[in-house]
Structure 1
């Protein structure tokens, strides 16, 4: 791709910056910085994003960043005073002010070797040869390719109406979604240069599937009517054109630019739930012996979140199958760690001590393979929590969020730790964020209960009983959630409800349940712990 602006050409294929046809020598990090700023010219690029792209997420000093920005400006005959092309946006980041013209070209040497049909395919994706995605567990003997994760294409959103001030919003939100989705390490995201060659308002899913190899297509439209704007988003299956998920967001037109990142975060969080569900359903159509690593992993996830001993054992077996198929599959180790966590946390097996050790060992293995995967970091936190290291667990959950800021699962786990440490304000903040990002999350029951326990810690027993009861009524709610519904209803004076929830727990006949409860919920604040102990005792535990 070549980006032309003023008398410059920025060539990503040859990795050259040219002025009036003459190559300007710049170091690789400056080139990467310019590429990021130029391709994202319709928005502000944060310092965190620059750090992630240019330095791969490693810590660098402010002076290192300033030095690269200064060199980038110098290459463009710009400087910190004029900021003609690279503008510093105070406390936010940087923005490229040019309006580059993009040109897709085939390098001259290669172009002459291509047939007319091949050149037509490159310039017009509709003429591409069919791309046949491989089934889970199969491989192309020529390329040795295995479908190890799904692929999504984000098409340019259509904009209907709107003033000039917000005319570029549709393009901006599409780009924002590509950037945010690219943080999900389990998902392949088609580059903007390819996906934006299709018109989001008029396309054939089959053509996109064949041209790009996409399993999923994300598209939408921005309808601006006066000071009201509606953003419609749709996620399709590329193979059959079926709508998997759709939503509609309403915003004030004069606030569109400011809420762009928030909207993108909500959409990405929905996809983070919907695509794995779809992958699990897809994997269910294959016989177990034919499952590849990716399909086995996703089928395992569908069982893991049911929180009962049978499904947990099935999930563990599927994760082990995924590891056998791909010994370097970090997320399969993380999933296996989570099943060991459940075995100990919910007393599914007699030897819970061994399960705590295995939860930590398999989490460490996943982290060793991929230290930047949010799920492997999260399971390190879960394993630490089992061992009573709440502060260490908090570190891991915060690291998971730093890697994926919209990871609802990590935000809930951080809220849970906040609750254990009696930090009601932070707990509520994080659990509300998690529920906003993932309103249909399989762990919604736990999110509601964490919020209820935060209210309990500050003496708001009526609110506590409301949220804990709502959590206990959600699918997959486990025995500790039922116990908290009993405790909070008892504290709120709802004797009938408290007794009913307590009876559900007692039917499990778990012996000394208080010991089991506080092993799973190691409350750090002594006052809160005594309140729960007293309530459990009065309820017959």
Structure 2
């Protein structure tokens, strides 16, 4: 008999992150020459890429595959695994086209948060699945972040835990005004008071100091030093977090250390190829460093990964500067 699947241990209120399970995609063979195993491979790839973002608590492959054999609904699987979100999907070959359908469900409400269908001709099946996997990972990450951010906005500020305070900070950060930047700083600081090991909150704090320096909203040298210091704290608590290297890369650029900046940003996207902000930052630095080809390539890739990103205007701006 198969051992029961253990639910994920709930995290403490200070360190809790949104949790996610990607259930094995179902494979439908539409033609006799359909290659088996593609759905399992795509599922494994999506789980790995989401985990590399280090933004969510992602259930390991073994647990979801064991639970899938019980033939239960996504909502039931989510409850058994004690997660907030469940992603499901299917892969089929129909009339010479690979069709991948995906749904992301919020377990607590059984609400479909996001659903999409991807269609490609399988000229190179592995390239096709890699491209679809990129789109799925980026979409899931963006949708979960949006839901968590909106939920945090509805709560009283003094009731927020570290995760919620961080997402409240993101909401203000993406307003791009001096006042909103200061509010973002306050919420990131609130998150860190509850959880001093929250790498992304340090990266967010670094972003606010970077904005103050870049926009001349404060003393440039002092704010640049603080951007560097908080980026260093982010790296100290989690050197494998792409956001930590992203923050350090930006901070080094402010200090005029172009080569060091590029090394950190390359490390960010090496750790997580789906980290769109890393590719955007590379585009920005390349555009400022006389490397238009690299700037355009990184900008295009960042927009491909995150076509509705709050920093889309910056991605386009970096591309435009590369042409200047």
Q: TM-score, normalised by structure 2?
A: 0.92
1:67-466 equivalences in 2 (<5 Å) = 105-106=2-3, 122=4, 148-162=16-30, 163-199=32-68, 203-253=72-122, 255-349=124-218, 351-456=219-324
The 2-side partners of 1:257 and 1:352 are apart by: 47
How well do the aligned residues superpose, as a CA RMSD in angstroms? 2.3
Q: Which residue number in structure 2 is paired with residue 513 of structure 1?
A: none
Post-superposition offset of 1:455? 1.7
The 1-side partners of 2:190 and 2:69 are apart by: 39
Q: Do the aligned partners of 2:253 and 2:261 also contact (CA within 8 Å) in 1? A: yes
Q: Do the aligned partners of 1:359 and 1:383 also contact (CA within 8 Å) in 2? A: yes
The 1-side partners of 2:41 and 2:237 are apart by: 35
The 1-side partners of 2:9 and 2:256 are apart by: 49
Tell me the number of residue pairs that the alignment of Structure 1 and Structure 2 aligns: 323
Q: Which moved more, 1:375-384 or 1:284-293?
A: 284-293
Q: Do the aligned partners of 2:14 and 2:162 also contact (CA within 8 Å) in 1? A: no
Post-superposition offset of 1:160? 2.4
- Structure 2: tracts of 5 or more residues without a match: none
Q: Do the aligned partners of 1:293 and 1:321 also contact (CA within 8 Å) in 2? A: yes
Q: Do the aligned partners of 2:74 and 2:88 also contact (CA within 8 Å) in 1? A: no
Q: Do the aligned partners of 2:53 and 2:274 also contact (CA within 8 Å) in 1? A: no
Post-superposition offset of 1:363? 1.1
The 2-side partners of 1:153 and 1:164 are apart by: 31
Q: Do the aligned partners of 1:280 and 1:302 also contact (CA within 8 Å) in 2? A: yes
Describe the SS at the equivalent of 1:196.
helix
Q: Do the aligned partners of 1:226 and 1:253 also contact (CA within 8 Å) in 2? A: no
- Structure 1: tracts of 5 or more residues without a match: 1-103, 107-121, 140-144, 457-541
The 2-side partners of 1:132 and 1:239 are apart by: 17
Q: Given the superposition, is the C-alpha separation of residues 260 and 336 from structure 1 closer, same or farther in structure 2, using an over 3 Å criterion? A: same
Q: Given the superposition, is the C-alpha separation of residues 314 and 180 from structure 1 closer, same or farther in structure 2, using an over 3 Å criterion? A: same
Q: Given the superposition, is the C-alpha separation of residues 401 and 200 from structure 1 closer, same or farther in structure 2, using an over 3 Å criterion? A: farther
Q: Do the aligned partners of 2:276 and 2:305 also contact (CA within 8 Å) in 1? A: yes
Q: Do the aligned partners of 1:166 and 1:257 also contact (CA within 8 Å) in 2? A: no
Q: Do the aligned partners of 1:166 and 1:256 also contact (CA within 8 Å) in 2? A: no
Describe the SS at the equivalent of 2:52.
coil
The 2-side partners of 1:200 and 1:355 are apart by: 54
The 2-side partners of 1:300 and 1:201 are apart by: 40
Q: Which residue number in structure 2 is paired with residue 98 of structure 1?
A: none
Q: Do the aligned partners of 2:14 and 2:194 also contact (CA within 8 Å) in 1? A: no
Describe the SS at the equivalent of 1:183.
helix
Describe the SS at the equivalent of 1:166.
coil
Post-superposition offset of 1:203? 4.3
Q: Given the superposition, is the C-alpha separation of residues 165 and 263 from structure 1 closer, same or farther in structure 2, using an over 3 Å criterion? A: same
Q: Which residue number in structure 2 is paired with residue 515 of structure 1?
A: none
Describe the SS at the equivalent of 2:98.
strand
Post-superposition offset of 1:179? 1.7
Deviations 1:331-374 (A, max 9, x none): 2111111101111111223x222111111111111111111111
Structure with higher RCO (Cα < 8 A, 6+ apart)? 2
Q: TM-score, normalised by structure 1?
A: 0.56
Q: Given the superposition, is the C-alpha separation of residues 205 and 429 from structure 1 closer, same or farther in structure 2, using an over 3 Å criterion? A: same
The 2-side partners of 1:222 and 1:322 are apart by: 40
The 1-side partners of 2:88 and 2:46 are apart by: 10
Deviations 1:15-38 (A, max 9, x none): xxxxxxxxxxxxxxxxxxxxxxxx
Q: Do the aligned partners of 1:155 and 1:200 also contact (CA within 8 Å) in 2? A: no
The structure having more radius of gyration, on CA atoms, is 1
Q: Given the superposition, is the C-alpha separation of residues 254 and 165 from structure 1 closer, same or farther in structure 2, using an over 3 Å criterion? A: farther
The 2-side partners of 1:172 and 1:255 are apart by: 15
The 2-side partners of 1:385 and 1:409 are apart by: 15
Q: Given the superposition, is the C-alpha separation of residues 251 and 283 from structure 1 closer, same or farther in structure 2, using an over 3 Å criterion? A: same
